[in-house]
Protein backbone atom coordinates (compact mmCIF):
# COMPACT_ATOMS: atom_id res chain seq x y z
CA UNK A 1 0.00 0.00 0.00
CA UNK A 2 1.05 3.62 -0.36
CA UNK A 3 2.93 5.19 2.53
CA UNK A 4 3.74 8.73 1.47
CA UNK A 5 3.20 11.16 4.30
CA UNK A 6 1.46 12.10 7.56
CA UNK A 7 1.08 10.04 10.71
CA UNK A 8 -0.10 6.44 10.71
CA UNK A 9 -0.47 3.37 12.88
CA UNK A 10 2.05 0.62 12.29
CA UNK A 11 0.55 -2.68 13.43
CA UNK A 12 3.16 -5.39 13.98
CA UNK A 13 1.89 -8.90 14.66
CA UNK A 14 4.22 -11.72 15.71
CA UNK A 15 3.36 -15.37 15.13
CA UNK A 16 5.52 -18.00 16.83
CA UNK A 17 6.48 -20.75 14.38
CA UNK A 18 5.57 -23.23 17.09
CA UNK A 19 3.41 -22.59 20.10
CA UNK A 20 5.43 -22.19 23.33
CA UNK A 21 6.02 -25.43 25.20
CA UNK A 22 6.20 -23.75 28.60
CA UNK A 23 5.14 -20.56 30.36
CA UNK A 24 8.80 -19.47 30.67
CA UNK A 25 9.37 -19.82 26.93
CA UNK A 26 6.12 -18.00 26.28
CA UNK A 27 7.06 -15.11 28.56
CA UNK A 28 10.60 -14.87 27.16
CA UNK A 29 9.33 -14.76 23.61
CA UNK A 30 6.61 -12.22 24.41
CA UNK A 31 9.12 -9.87 26.05
CA UNK A 32 11.49 -10.18 23.10
CA UNK A 33 8.68 -9.16 20.75
CA UNK A 34 7.88 -6.13 22.88
CA UNK A 35 10.43 -3.64 24.28
CA UNK A 36 13.48 -5.38 22.75
CA UNK A 37 11.89 -5.26 19.34
CA UNK A 38 10.93 -1.59 19.75
CA UNK A 39 14.62 -0.67 19.93
CA UNK A 40 15.34 -2.61 16.73
CA UNK A 41 12.38 -1.01 15.00
CA UNK A 42 13.48 2.51 15.92
CA UNK A 43 16.83 1.98 14.24
CA UNK A 44 15.20 0.40 11.18
CA UNK A 45 12.75 3.28 10.76
CA UNK A 46 15.24 6.15 11.04
CA UNK A 47 14.76 9.02 10.24
CA UNK A 48 11.07 8.38 10.90
CA UNK A 49 10.04 8.38 14.55
CA UNK A 50 7.92 5.76 16.29
CA UNK A 51 6.10 5.64 19.61
CA UNK A 52 4.78 2.40 21.09
CA UNK A 53 1.06 2.84 21.73
CA UNK A 54 0.17 -0.65 22.89
CA UNK A 55 1.51 -4.16 23.21
CA UNK A 56 -0.74 -7.15 23.70
CA UNK A 57 -0.74 -10.92 23.81
CA UNK A 58 -3.49 -12.10 21.48
CA UNK A 59 -3.04 -15.82 22.12
CA UNK A 60 -0.19 -18.09 23.23
CA UNK A 61 2.57 -17.44 20.74
CA UNK A 62 0.78 -14.50 19.04
CA UNK A 63 1.69 -10.96 20.05
CA UNK A 64 0.93 -7.52 18.64
CA UNK A 65 2.54 -4.09 18.97
CA UNK A 66 0.97 -0.89 17.67
CA UNK A 67 3.10 2.20 16.98
CA UNK A 68 2.40 5.74 15.92
CA UNK A 69 4.74 6.54 13.03
CA UNK A 70 5.68 9.97 11.70
CA UNK A 71 7.17 11.11 8.39
CA UNK A 72 8.63 9.62 6.31
CA UNK A 73 6.27 6.67 6.54
CA UNK A 74 7.82 3.24 5.93
CA UNK A 75 6.70 0.70 3.38
CA UNK A 76 5.66 -2.50 5.19
CA UNK A 77 7.14 -4.74 2.50
CA UNK A 78 10.55 -3.09 2.93
CA UNK A 79 10.44 -3.65 6.68
CA UNK A 80 9.66 -7.33 6.05
CA UNK A 81 12.85 -7.70 4.00
CA UNK A 82 15.07 -5.64 6.33
CA UNK A 83 18.06 -7.86 7.15
CA UNK A 84 18.12 -6.93 10.86
CA UNK A 85 14.44 -7.76 11.18
CA UNK A 86 14.71 -11.07 9.32
CA UNK A 87 17.57 -11.95 11.65
CA UNK A 88 15.29 -11.14 14.62
CA UNK A 89 12.62 -13.44 13.16
CA UNK A 90 15.11 -16.28 12.81
CA UNK A 91 16.54 -15.79 16.32
CA UNK A 92 13.13 -15.79 18.02
CA UNK A 93 11.42 -18.26 15.65
CA UNK A 94 8.62 -15.89 14.71
CA UNK A 95 7.01 -14.57 11.55
CA UNK A 96 6.12 -10.89 11.55
CA UNK A 97 3.22 -9.32 9.66
CA UNK A 98 3.49 -5.57 9.02
CA UNK A 99 0.44 -3.40 8.42
CA UNK A 100 0.43 0.36 7.97
CA UNK A 101 -2.96 1.97 8.58
CA UNK A 102 -3.40 5.55 7.41
CA UNK A 103 -6.01 7.74 9.09
CA UNK A 104 -7.08 4.76 11.14
CA UNK A 105 -9.43 4.77 14.09
CA UNK A 106 -8.04 4.50 17.58
CA UNK A 107 -9.81 1.20 18.27
CA UNK A 108 -8.35 -2.23 17.57
CA UNK A 109 -10.27 -2.95 14.36
CA UNK A 110 -8.25 -2.75 11.16
CA UNK A 111 -10.33 -0.82 8.55
CA UNK A 112 -11.45 -3.38 5.95
CA UNK A 113 -14.43 -3.52 3.60
CA UNK A 114 -13.38 -5.99 0.87
CA UNK A 115 -11.60 -9.35 1.22
CA UNK A 116 -10.42 -11.35 -1.83
CA UNK A 117 -9.16 -14.93 -1.62
CA UNK A 118 -7.50 -17.41 -3.93
CA UNK A 119 -9.18 -20.83 -3.89
CA UNK A 120 -6.79 -23.74 -4.51
CA UNK A 121 -4.39 -24.40 -1.59
CA UNK A 122 -5.87 -21.37 0.16
CA UNK A 123 -9.59 -21.67 0.94
CA UNK A 124 -9.43 -25.35 -0.01
CA UNK A 125 -6.58 -27.77 0.66
CA UNK A 126 -6.31 -29.22 -2.84
CA UNK A 127 -5.34 -28.07 -6.34
CA UNK A 128 -8.44 -28.85 -8.38
CA UNK A 129 -6.59 -29.34 -11.66
CA UNK A 130 -4.43 -32.00 -9.98
CA UNK A 131 -7.57 -33.76 -8.76
CA UNK A 132 -8.96 -33.73 -12.30
CA UNK A 133 -5.69 -35.16 -13.62
CA UNK A 134 -5.74 -37.87 -10.96
CA UNK A 135 -9.21 -38.93 -12.06
CA UNK A 136 -7.81 -40.05 -15.45
CA UNK A 137 -4.33 -41.09 -14.33
CA UNK A 138 -2.23 -38.24 -15.76
CA UNK A 139 -1.06 -36.59 -12.56
CA UNK A 140 2.64 -36.69 -13.49
CA UNK A 141 2.15 -35.04 -16.87
CA UNK A 142 0.06 -32.20 -15.43
CA UNK A 143 2.42 -31.70 -12.47
CA UNK A 144 5.39 -31.36 -14.85
CA UNK A 145 3.71 -28.44 -16.63
CA UNK A 146 2.85 -26.86 -13.28
CA UNK A 147 6.51 -27.07 -12.24
CA UNK A 148 7.57 -25.30 -15.44
CA UNK A 149 5.12 -22.50 -14.71
CA UNK A 150 6.32 -22.15 -11.11
CA UNK A 151 9.92 -21.93 -12.34
CA UNK A 152 8.98 -19.08 -14.66
CA UNK A 153 9.61 -21.10 -17.81
CA UNK A 154 6.10 -20.51 -19.17
CA UNK A 155 3.34 -18.00 -18.45
CA UNK A 156 0.30 -18.96 -16.38
CA UNK A 157 -2.14 -18.83 -19.30
CA UNK A 158 0.05 -21.04 -21.47
CA UNK A 159 0.52 -23.55 -18.66
CA UNK A 160 -3.23 -23.59 -18.03
CA UNK A 161 -4.02 -24.26 -21.68
CA UNK A 162 -1.41 -27.04 -21.89
CA UNK A 163 -2.75 -28.75 -18.79
CA UNK A 164 -6.36 -28.44 -19.90
CA UNK A 165 -5.54 -30.02 -23.26
CA UNK A 166 -4.46 -33.13 -21.35
CA UNK A 167 -7.84 -33.24 -19.60
CA UNK A 168 -9.87 -33.66 -22.77
CA UNK A 169 -12.37 -36.45 -22.25
CA UNK A 170 -12.90 -36.04 -18.51
CA UNK A 171 -16.59 -36.59 -17.74
CA UNK A 172 -18.53 -33.36 -17.50
CA UNK A 173 -20.09 -34.44 -14.20
CA UNK A 174 -16.68 -34.90 -12.56
CA UNK A 175 -17.44 -31.86 -10.38
CA UNK A 176 -20.02 -33.83 -8.42
CA UNK A 177 -17.34 -36.35 -7.52
CA UNK A 178 -14.83 -33.66 -6.58
CA UNK A 179 -17.29 -31.98 -4.25
CA UNK A 180 -17.23 -35.17 -2.18
CA UNK A 181 -13.43 -35.18 -1.85
CA UNK A 182 -12.36 -31.51 -1.82
CA UNK A 183 -11.78 -30.25 1.74
CA UNK A 184 -12.19 -26.70 2.98
CA UNK A 185 -9.06 -25.36 4.67
CA UNK A 186 -8.88 -25.18 8.46
CA UNK A 187 -10.16 -21.86 9.75
CA UNK A 188 -11.62 -20.73 6.41
CA UNK A 189 -15.20 -20.75 7.65
CA UNK A 190 -14.28 -18.95 10.87
CA UNK A 191 -12.43 -16.26 8.92
CA UNK A 192 -15.25 -15.72 6.42
CA UNK A 193 -17.86 -15.72 9.19
CA UNK A 194 -15.88 -13.04 11.03
CA UNK A 195 -15.60 -10.91 7.90
CA UNK A 196 -19.30 -11.28 7.15
CA UNK A 197 -20.20 -10.21 10.70
CA UNK A 198 -18.21 -7.03 10.09
CA UNK A 199 -20.07 -6.39 6.85
CA UNK A 200 -17.02 -7.06 4.66
CA UNK A 201 -17.58 -8.13 1.05
CA UNK A 202 -15.95 -11.52 0.50
CA UNK A 203 -14.73 -12.86 -2.84
CA UNK A 204 -13.02 -15.93 -4.26
CA UNK A 205 -11.09 -15.36 -7.49
CA UNK A 206 -9.44 -18.49 -8.81
CA UNK A 207 -7.27 -19.62 -11.67
CA UNK A 208 -9.20 -22.86 -11.19
CA UNK A 209 -12.67 -23.61 -12.41
CA UNK A 210 -16.11 -22.06 -12.05
CA UNK A 211 -18.07 -25.13 -10.88
CA UNK A 212 -15.85 -25.51 -7.83
CA UNK A 213 -15.60 -21.77 -7.14
CA UNK A 214 -19.40 -21.43 -7.21
CA UNK A 215 -19.72 -24.48 -4.94
CA UNK A 216 -17.25 -22.96 -2.49
CA UNK A 217 -19.10 -19.63 -2.62
CA UNK A 218 -22.19 -21.45 -1.38
CA UNK A 219 -20.33 -23.47 1.24
CA UNK A 220 -18.70 -20.42 2.84
CA UNK A 221 -21.34 -17.77 2.12
CA UNK A 222 -19.07 -15.61 -0.04
CA UNK A 223 -20.47 -12.65 -1.95
CA UNK A 224 -18.73 -13.25 -5.29
CA UNK A 225 -16.93 -16.03 -7.17
CA UNK A 226 -14.74 -15.67 -10.27
CA UNK A 227 -12.95 -18.53 -12.04
CA UNK A 228 -12.25 -20.06 -15.42
CA UNK A 229 -15.06 -21.53 -17.51
CA UNK A 230 -14.47 -24.73 -19.47
CA UNK A 231 -16.10 -25.89 -22.70
CA UNK A 232 -18.18 -29.05 -22.41
CA UNK A 233 -18.52 -31.21 -25.54
CA UNK A 234 -21.43 -33.58 -26.28
CA UNK A 235 -21.09 -37.34 -26.56
CA UNK A 236 -19.28 -38.70 -29.60
CA UNK A 237 -17.74 -41.93 -30.86
CA UNK A 238 -14.55 -41.42 -28.88
CA UNK A 239 -16.19 -40.21 -25.68
CA UNK A 240 -19.73 -41.60 -25.41
CA UNK A 241 -20.68 -39.11 -22.69
CA UNK A 242 -20.65 -35.31 -22.21
CA UNK A 243 -17.03 -34.40 -21.51
CA UNK A 244 -14.52 -31.59 -21.07
CA UNK A 245 -13.20 -30.43 -24.43
CA UNK A 246 -9.84 -29.45 -22.97
CA UNK A 247 -10.44 -25.80 -23.88
CA UNK A 248 -11.35 -22.59 -22.07
CA UNK A 249 -14.60 -20.87 -22.92
CA UNK A 250 -13.98 -17.92 -25.30
CA UNK A 251 -17.05 -16.20 -23.85
CA UNK A 252 -15.49 -15.63 -20.42
CA UNK A 253 -12.31 -13.92 -19.23
CA UNK A 254 -9.32 -16.08 -18.41
CA UNK A 255 -8.28 -15.71 -14.78
CA UNK A 256 -4.64 -14.70 -15.18
CA UNK A 257 -2.73 -12.60 -12.61
CA UNK A 258 -3.80 -9.34 -14.24
CA UNK A 259 -7.45 -10.38 -14.11
CA UNK A 260 -7.22 -11.21 -10.41
CA UNK A 261 -5.89 -7.72 -9.76
CA UNK A 262 -8.65 -6.31 -11.99
CA UNK A 263 -11.32 -8.06 -9.91
CA UNK A 264 -9.92 -6.53 -6.73
CA UNK A 265 -9.72 -3.04 -8.18
CA UNK A 266 -13.06 -3.10 -10.03
CA UNK A 267 -15.01 -4.37 -7.01
CA UNK A 268 -13.35 -1.76 -4.82
CA UNK A 269 -14.31 0.95 -7.30
CA UNK A 270 -17.86 -0.38 -7.74
CA UNK A 271 -18.46 -0.33 -3.97
CA UNK A 272 -16.52 2.92 -3.32
CA UNK A 273 -13.94 1.11 -1.20
CA UNK A 274 -10.40 2.53 -1.02
CA UNK A 275 -7.74 -0.07 -1.81
CA UNK A 276 -6.20 0.70 1.59
CA UNK A 277 -9.27 -1.03 3.09
CA UNK A 278 -8.89 -4.26 1.14
CA UNK A 279 -7.47 -7.59 2.28
CA UNK A 280 -6.09 -10.31 -0.04
CA UNK A 281 -4.91 -13.85 0.70
CA UNK A 282 -3.33 -16.27 -1.79
CA UNK A 283 -0.53 -18.77 -2.22
CA UNK A 284 0.57 -18.79 -5.88
CA UNK A 285 2.62 -16.66 -8.24
CA UNK A 286 -0.58 -15.68 -10.04
CA UNK A 287 -1.69 -14.00 -6.78
CA UNK A 288 1.29 -11.65 -6.50
CA UNK A 289 -0.24 -8.74 -8.40
CA UNK A 290 -3.41 -8.64 -6.33
CA UNK A 291 -1.45 -9.19 -3.11
CA UNK A 292 0.66 -6.15 -3.94
CA UNK A 293 -2.35 -3.99 -4.80
CA UNK A 294 -4.24 -4.66 -1.56
CA UNK A 295 -4.15 -2.61 1.60
CA UNK A 296 -3.01 -5.80 3.34
CA UNK A 297 -1.88 -8.71 1.19
CA UNK A 298 -0.78 -11.94 2.88
CA UNK A 299 0.74 -14.94 1.11
CA UNK A 300 -0.64 -17.95 3.00
CA UNK A 301 1.52 -21.10 3.14
CA UNK A 302 2.79 -19.97 -0.23
CA UNK A 303 5.09 -21.35 -2.89
CA UNK A 304 8.78 -20.39 -2.30
CA UNK A 305 8.81 -17.73 -5.05
CA UNK A 306 5.72 -16.13 -3.54
CA UNK A 307 7.17 -16.25 -0.02
CA UNK A 308 10.09 -14.21 -1.30
CA UNK A 309 8.13 -11.66 -3.31
CA UNK A 310 4.80 -11.14 -1.53
CA UNK A 311 4.24 -8.03 0.61
CA UNK A 312 3.63 -10.23 3.67
CA UNK A 313 3.68 -13.96 4.33
CA UNK A 314 2.45 -16.34 7.01
CA UNK A 315 2.87 -20.09 7.41
CA UNK A 316 0.30 -21.14 9.95
CA UNK A 317 -2.01 -24.09 10.43
CA UNK A 318 -5.37 -22.30 10.41
CA UNK A 319 -6.71 -19.36 8.42
CA UNK A 320 -8.47 -18.16 11.56
CA UNK A 321 -5.08 -16.78 12.69
CA UNK A 322 -5.59 -14.06 10.08
CA UNK A 323 -8.47 -12.73 12.17
CA UNK A 324 -5.87 -11.39 14.61
CA UNK A 325 -4.49 -9.14 11.86
CA UNK A 326 -7.87 -7.49 11.51
CA UNK A 327 -8.50 -6.81 15.18
CA UNK A 328 -10.74 -9.79 15.78
CA UNK A 329 -11.01 -12.12 18.78
CA UNK A 330 -10.53 -11.16 22.36
CA UNK A 331 -7.05 -10.38 23.61
CA UNK A 332 -5.53 -9.72 26.97
CA UNK A 333 -2.74 -7.44 28.10
CA UNK A 334 0.75 -8.95 28.11
Burial 97-135 (b: 16+ CB within 10 A, else e): bbbbbbebeeeeebbbbbbbbbbbbbbbebbbbbbbbeb
What span, in angstroms and rounded, lies between the C-alpha atoms of 149 and 8? 39
53 labelled catalytic: no
Residue pair 240/226 in contact by the 8 Å Cβ criterion: no
What span, in angstroms and rounded, lies between the C-alpha atoms of 155 and 116? 23
Catalytic residue among 99, 120, 287, 321: 120
Catalytic residue among 99, 118, 283, 321: 118
Q: What is the DSSP string of 88-104?
A: HHHHHTEEEEEEEEET-
Please report, for residues 46, 87, 123, 171, 215, the alpha-carbon distance to residue 176 in angstroms, rounded to integers and kept in the order given: 57, 48, 19, 10, 10
Residue pair 209/125 in contact by the 8 Å Cβ criterion: no
What span, in angstroms and rounded, lies between the C-alpha atoms of 6 and 103? 9
173 labelled catalytic: no
Residue pair 299/307 in contact by the 8 Å Cβ criterion: yes
Question: Three-class SS of residue 122?
Answer: helix
Half-sphere exposure in the Cβ direction for 83 (13 Å, CA) = 0
Burial 197-216 (b: 16+ CB within 10 A, else e): eeebbbbbbbbbbbbbbbbb
**Catalytic residue annotation:** 118, 120
Amino acid sequence: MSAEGGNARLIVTFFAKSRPSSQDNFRSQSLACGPTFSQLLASSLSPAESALDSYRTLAPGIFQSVYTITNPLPKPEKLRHNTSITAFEALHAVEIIWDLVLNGTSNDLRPIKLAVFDMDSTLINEEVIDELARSIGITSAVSAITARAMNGEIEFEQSLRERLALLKGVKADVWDELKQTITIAAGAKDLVDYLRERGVLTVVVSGGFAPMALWLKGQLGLNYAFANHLVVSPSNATYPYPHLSGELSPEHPIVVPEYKKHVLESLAQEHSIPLSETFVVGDGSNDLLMLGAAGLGVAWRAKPKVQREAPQRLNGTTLSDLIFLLGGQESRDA
